[in-house]
A and B are shown apart, each in its own frame.
Chain A
Amino acid sequence: MSKGRYGIHGGQYVPETLMNEINKLEESYEFYKKDKNFNDELDTLLREYAGRPSLLYYAEKMTRDLGGAKIYFKREDLNHTGSHKINNVLGQALLAKKMGKTRIIAETGAGQHGVATATAAALLDLECEIYMGKEDTVRQALNVYRMELLGAKVHPVESGTMTLKDAVNECMREWTSRVDDTLYVLGSVMGPHPFPMIVRDFQSVISREAREQIIEKEGRLPDVVMACVGGGSNSMGMFYEFINDKDVALIGCEAAGHGVDTDKTAATMAVGMEGIFHGMKSYFCQDEYGQIAPVYSISAGLDYPGVGPEHAYLKDIGRAQYVPVTDEEAVQAFEYIAKEEGIIAAIESSHAVAHLMKIAPKMGKDKIIICCLSGRGDKDVAAIARYRGIDLHE
C-alpha cells in the first residue's frame, strides 16, 4: 500500500509527471513543519494578518429560541478574506516560498479559496493564477473581480460541468505542464498525498483553538462538533483535535441539493461509491461505469462529486456521521441565523446551521454544540435573493 492512506482511502493516483513534485512537496513539508522559523512566521501571519484566534461565540438567542443544547459558533467567517481558507493558504504559500517557487495556482468553487490564495500571493509576492468553473464565475462574479483586484489571473474553465471538479482537472493539467516554478495550492483535504495531510494540518488550528476555548468557557468538552463538508477542509479542521475525544460526536453536513433521491445532489457520502479520482481513492458520485457524475448544489463551494479520504475513513470506522442538507433547508438557515444572531453566514456554512437547527432542540439544555461557521455570506446575498425570486444582481 502506498503513502498517505486513511484505511483503504487516499494514496497518490497522479500522472508520473507529478510524482517527483508531490514527493518533493512532502519532503519539504515534513522538514518545515518541524522548523521553528517556519512555524513562527506562519504563526505571526495567522495572528497579525488573518486575525486568529477566531472567536468561539456563544449564540445565546439561537440557544433560547431552539430551546435545547447550548450553541457555540467557531467564527472562521471573521478571518481575513472571510473564510477558513486563509489558514491553509498562508501555510501553503509560505511553504511555496521556502521551496523557491515563484508562482502558485489554485482551483476555486465559491471563490473563497481563490480569494484567499490571491491574497496570500499578493502579500508574499508570488505570481498567482486561479482556475474557476465558468458556471461559478457567473454565480460568484464578485469574487472573480476580487481576485483580479488582488493581482491574480482568473481562468474560467469551460470543460465538463464548468464547476469545481473541472477547475481541479484544469489545475492538475496546468501543474503537469509547469512544475518547476509552480506549486498547486490545493484548497481542500483532497487530492493526492501529501495534500490531504497538509491541508488538514494547517486547518486543524480551528479545532486546536476551539478545544481550548470551550474548556475555558464551559470547563468541559462539547457533545457535538459539526461543520459543512464539500471536499471537507473546514470540517476536517473542526474535527481533527476532537477525534480522540470519543464522547464528542462529529457531524459533517453535505449538500443534498434538491435531495438525495434526485440527480440534483452533491451528497457524496449519501449517494457516492468508492472510486479513484483527483489523485485519491475515496467516495465519489459516479455512474455504473465510473464516469464522474455531474453534481449539483446551490452552494458553489460544496458542489463537488467527491470527499477527502480522511472523511471517507472517519465514515467507514463510524467515528463521524455525515448527513445531507437540501438547498431549501440551507437557505432557510441562512435567513434564520441572519435574523436571529445578526450573522450573514456563507451558504456553505448554512448547511451545517440547518442541521444544527434540527438537532439542537432535541438535545438537553446541559448539552453543548460547536458549529463551524466556515465563511461569511456576503458573496451569497444576490444568489439567495434570486432563489427567493427577487431579481437582484451585483
Chain B
Amino acid sequence: MSRIKDAFDNKKAFIGFVTAGDPSLDKTEEFVLEMERAGASLVELGIPFSDPIAEGPVIQDANIRALKAGCTTDKIFDMVKSLRQKTQIPLVFLAYANTLFKYGYERFCGKCRDVGIDGLIIPDIPFEEKHELSDISSKYGVDMISLIAPTSEQRIQMIAKEAQGFIYVVSSMGVTGVRSEIKTDVESIVKSIKEVTDVPIAVGFGINKKEQVAKYTQIADGAIIGSAIVKIAAQYGERAGDHIYEYVSEMVSAIYTHG
C-alpha cells in the first residue's frame, strides 16, 4: 500500500502544509515531525517559488523568506532524505510548474522517488497540461494530485476519473489564505467525485478553525490547513515547533469520527 493510501486508511485525514525553508530547512524537518506527533496523517511541503500565483499574502511572504534564507530545490531534497530517516508519514510537494520544468521532470521525479516523496501538487498544471508530467511521475511511482475547484462544474468527473493519490478540493475561490466563511457547495462536489472514483478527497483553501475541520472531515476524507500553520511559523520563527504542535493537535481533535 502506498504511503498516501495509508493516510486515509479507515480514517479521516488531517493534512498540514508548511513552506520548506521557512525559517530554515532544519526547522521544516522539526515542524513536520511536530505535525506528525500532533496527529497529522500527511504533510504538504511547499517548494518556495518567486511568483506563487495561487497563494495569498501569508504563503507568498513565506516563499520570499525561504528563498532569502537560501532554500533551493536540491537542499529540500536533502532535507527530505534526512527526514525520511525519522518518519514514514506521507509527504507531498506543492510546487509550481517552472520549478519542476527547470529541474527536468525526469530528474525531479527520480529524486522524489529516491528521497521518499509520495505525490506532487502543481497548482499551475491543470488537467489539460498534466500529461507532460504525469507520464513521467507515474514511472517513478509518484502520484500527481489533482485539484478540483468551485468553478470546475462539468470538469469534476473528467478530472476525478484520472485522479491519483488523493483529490484536492479547493473549497473557495481565489488564492490560499484564512477565510471566515466559505460559500462553495463542497458537498455536491464531493458527491459528484464519489460517483466516479474511490480516490480519497481532501478539502483545502481557507480552512483554519476546528468547526471547519469537523465539517470537511465529515463531508470528505480529509481537511488541509496551510496558511494558518505558515502564519504560526512566521510569528514564532525558530520557536514555532511547539505552537504548531499545539495548533495541529487542536485541529486533529476536531476530526469527525463516527458515533
Contacts and interface: CB of A to CB of B under 8 A. Distances in A.
A19 interface: yes
B110 interface: no
Contacts of A173: 53-54, 56, 174-175
Nearest to A13: B124
A11 B101 CA distance: 14
Given A2-B128, A289-B72, A177 B173 contact: yes
B152 interface: yes
A15 interface: yes
Contacts of A166: 51
B87 interface: no
Interface stretch (B27-35, B143-151, B213-221): B143-151
Contacts of B74: 289
A16 B152 CA distance: 7
B117 to A, nearest CB: 17
Given A176-B174, A292-B51, A15 B98 contact: no
Given A169-B51, A276-B97, A291-B49, A3 B128 contact: yes
B125 A13 contact: yes
B50 A160 contact: yes
A17 B159 CA distance: 13
B67 A19 contact: no
B173 A17 contact: yes
Given A14-B124, A17-B149, A20-B152, A275 B102 contact: yes
Interface in B105-133: 123-129
B67 A291 contact: yes
A19 B126 contact: yes
A303 to B, nearest CB: 15
A286 interface: yes
Chain B's interface size range is 35 or more
Nearest to A12: B128
Contact of A276 (B54, B72, B124): B124
A13 B153 CA distance: 19
A289 B75 CA distance: 11
A14 B126 CA distance: 6
A240 interface: no
Contacts of B125: 13
B14 to A, nearest CB: 23
Contacts of A304: none
Contacts of B126: 12-16, 19
Contacts of B97: 13, 276-277
Contacts of A165: 51
A68 to B, nearest CB: 42
Contacts of A177: 173-175
A274 B105 CA distance: 13
**Which of B72, B126, B173 has its CB near the most chain A CB atoms (within 10 A)?**
B126
Contacts of A19: 126-128, 149, 151-152, 155
B103 interface: yes
Contacts of B49: 290-291
Interface string A14-50: 1111111100000000000000000000000000000
Interface string A279-317: 101001010111110000000000000000000000000
Contact of B51 (A16, A21, A160, A179): A160
A61 interface: no
Contact of B148 (A16, A21, A278, A289): A16
A178 interface: yes
A172 interface: yes
Nearest to A276: B97
A284 B98 contact: yes
A16 B102 contact: no
Given A19-B152, A176-B174, A275 B51 contact: no
B170 interface: yes
B257 to A, nearest CB: 30
Interface in B41-99: 49-51, 53-54, 56-57, 60, 64, 67, 72-74, 97-99
A176 B173 contact: yes
B53 A169 contact: yes
A195 to B, nearest CB: 15
Contact of A16 (B56, B60, B127, B174): B127
28 contacts: A11-B128, A13-B97, A13-B125, A15-B126, A15-B147, A15-B149, A16-B123, A16-B127, A17-B151, A17-B170, A17-B174, A19-B152, A166-B51, A172-B53, A177-B175, A178-B174, A273-B102, A284-B98, A286-B98, A289-B72, A289-B73, A289-B102, A289-B103, A290-B49, A290-B99, A290-B102, A291-B67, A292-B98
Sorted nearest first, the 7 A-B pairs with minimum C-beta distance are A177-B174, A290-B102, A17-B149, A276-B97, A290-B98, A291-B50, A2-B128
